Structure 1
C-alpha cells in the first residue's frame, strides 16, 4: 500500500515524526516499521524522521498490509452504492433506508458495508466504517478507503469537526428551536433501545431547528454534537415529539422512519479542502 500526499499551502511546518504521530495519527507500531524499513519518502527521496516538511512537499508512505488487521467482508451488490464523493482516501455515499450500515454476523451480506466492499474491490481497496447510521435512517455516510486516513477521521468525529445535519419529521407541533442535552444510556429491559439516563448515561447533545410546522407534524433540522446510538430518536421522543415511523420509540405505523442524514461538512485530512456533501434525496 503506497500513498503519496502533497502537503497543502496551509500546512504548518513540522518534523516527519510530528506529522506521522500527532497529525496523521499513524499507530506507533506502524511508525516503527516505517522508520526501520525506511518507507517514508520526502519528495521521492528516503527521509529521516527528524527532517522538517513544509507546504508543497510530497510525502510518500509505503505501508505493509500485514501491519494492519483486516476482517473479511462478504461481497454485496456494487450497483447499489450511490456515490456522493470519492477520492483516494474517502468514500461518501447515500445510504437507503432499511439497510444496515455493517453486518453483525460473519454470514451477513445485505448491508451497506458489503455493497461498498464490492464496489471498492475493483480498486483493490478495503472499506473502513467511520460512523454508522441506523438501519431505518437514510442519507450521507462516510467510509475510509485505507487505514492511513481512518484514525484521522475518527479524531475529527470525536472533536466535532465533522458537521452532520439531519432532516426529521416528528409527531405534533414543535414551536421552539432548542438544544437537547439529556444523557443517553442503555435500556436494561430491551437491548435494542436506548433511554434517557441522567445518572449513568453518556453525554448527548442535539440541536433542533424548526423548518415547518404542519397540522399534525413538524419538519425539523437536527445537528449532532455527539454521536450516541439512536440519539436523535431518543432525544425527540423525550420531549414528546417522536419521529414519525419510529418502530422503537412510538407505535404509530408509517412507511418508514422519517429521519434522513441530509448534509455533511468536513475538512479533508490531507488536502485541507472543505467538503460539503449533500444527499440527493430529502424528506421535505
Structure 2
C-alpha cells in the first residue's frame, strides 16, 4: 500500500517521529519498518526521524504486505451498497434495515462483505448499527486509517444523530437520559436499565415533531455507545420506538423506526469538516403513514 497526502494547513509543525506516533497513531512495530526501510518520504525525499514536517508538505507512506497483512473475507453483493461518500481511506454508506453490520461467523454475509465487494478490497468496521436500524455508517478502507478513526470515535469526535418515531407525546423539547444500562438476565438479546450494575449511558433527545396519533418524531444524540442505548432509554421513559421487536413487541409498524440520520467529523488526514444527512425510503414511508 502506498498513501500520499498533503499535511493540512491547520496542523502545527512537529517532528516526523511525533507526526507518525501521535497524529497518525501508527503502531511502534510499523513505525520501525517505515524507518529502517526508508518508507516515509517528505516532498519525495528521505527524512530522518527528528526532521520537522509542516503544513503544505507532501507525505508519502509505503507499507509492505508484512506491515499490514491482507485480511481476506467473503465478498458480498456490491449492488446492495448505497454510497454516500468515499475517498482513498474511508467510505460512508446508507445501511438498510434488516441487515447486520458484520457477520458473527467467518462465512456469514453482512454489510461489511457487501461494502468490501463494492470497494474491491477488504474494509473494516469503525462503528456498528443494530440489524434493525438503518442509516449512515462509516467503514475504513485500509488498516492504516482504522486506528485513527477509532481514536476519533473514542474521543467522541465523530458525531452521530438518530431520528426515531416513538409512542406518546414527548413533554419537553429537550431531554437528557443518563440511566445505566446492563444485560437482561432473562433474555440475552435485550438490555435494560440497571442502576446498580449497569454501565453509564447518556442520550440527548430533542422533540422534532408531534403527530395527531400520539406519536412523536425525536432526534437522539449519543454521548456514549452502549448496546441498544437509544431503544432502552426511550422504552424505559415510556416512549418506545415504533416497530421495535424487542422493546415494543406489540407495535404493528413494519420496521424499527430508528434511523442514523446524520454523521459528522473532521477528516483526520485532510482536516476537512465532513457532514452528511440521509433518510431511507422505508423510514420516510412509515413516517408519513404513522404521522
What TM-score, normalized by structure 2, do the two folds share? Answer: 0.93
How far does residue 68 in structure 1 lie from its aligned partner after superposition? 2.7
Q: State the partner residue of 2:242.
A: 244
Runs of 4+ in structure 1 deviating by more than 6 angstroms, as ranges, are none
How far does residue 189 in structure 1 lie from its aligned partner after superposition? 2.2
Give distance in 1, aligned partners of 2:151 and 2:46: 29
Give distance in 1, aligned partners of 2:146 and 2:65: 15
Q: State the partner residue of 2:216.
A: 218
Q: State the partner residue of 1:5.
A: 5
How far does residue 138 in structure 1 lie from its aligned partner after superposition? 0.4
Q: State the partner residue of 2:118.
A: 119
Give distance in 2, aligned partners of 1:236 and 1:65: 47
* 1:193 and 2:190 are equivalent in the alignment: yes
* 1:278 and 2:277 are equivalent in the alignment: yes
How far does residue 72 in structure 1 lie from its aligned partner after superposition? 2.5
Contact kept in structure 1, 2:134 and 2:258, CA below 8 Å: yes
- 1:230/1:70 CA distance change after superposition, 3 Å: farther
Show structure 1 runs of 5+ residues with no match.
Answer: none
Contact kept in structure 2, 1:175 and 1:213, CA below 8 Å: no
How far does residue 65 in structure 1 lie from its aligned partner after superposition? 2.6
How far does residue 69 in structure 1 lie from its aligned partner after superposition? 4.8
How far does residue 200 in structure 1 lie from its aligned partner after superposition? 2.2
Give distance in 2, aligned partners of 1:156 and 1:212: 31
Give distance in 2, aligned partners of 1:272 and 1:155: 15
How far does residue 280 in structure 1 lie from its aligned partner after superposition? 4.5
How far does residue 254 in structure 1 lie from its aligned partner after superposition? 2.0
Which aligned pairs between 1:159-198 and structure 2 lie closer than 5 A?
159-176=155-172, 177-198=174-195
1:231 maps to which of 215, 229, 239 = 229
Secondary structure of 2:61's match?
Answer: strand
Show structure 2 runs of 5+ residues with no match.
Answer: none
**RMSD across aligned positions (CA):** 1.3
Which shifted more, 232-241 or 247-256? Answer: 247-256
Give distance in 2, aligned partners of 1:46 and 1:116: 36
List per-residue Cα deviations over 1:74-111 (Å, max 9, x = no partner). 111001111100100110000001100001111212x1
Secondary structure of 1:117's match?
Answer: helix
Contact kept in structure 1, 2:71 and 2:122, CA below 8 Å: no
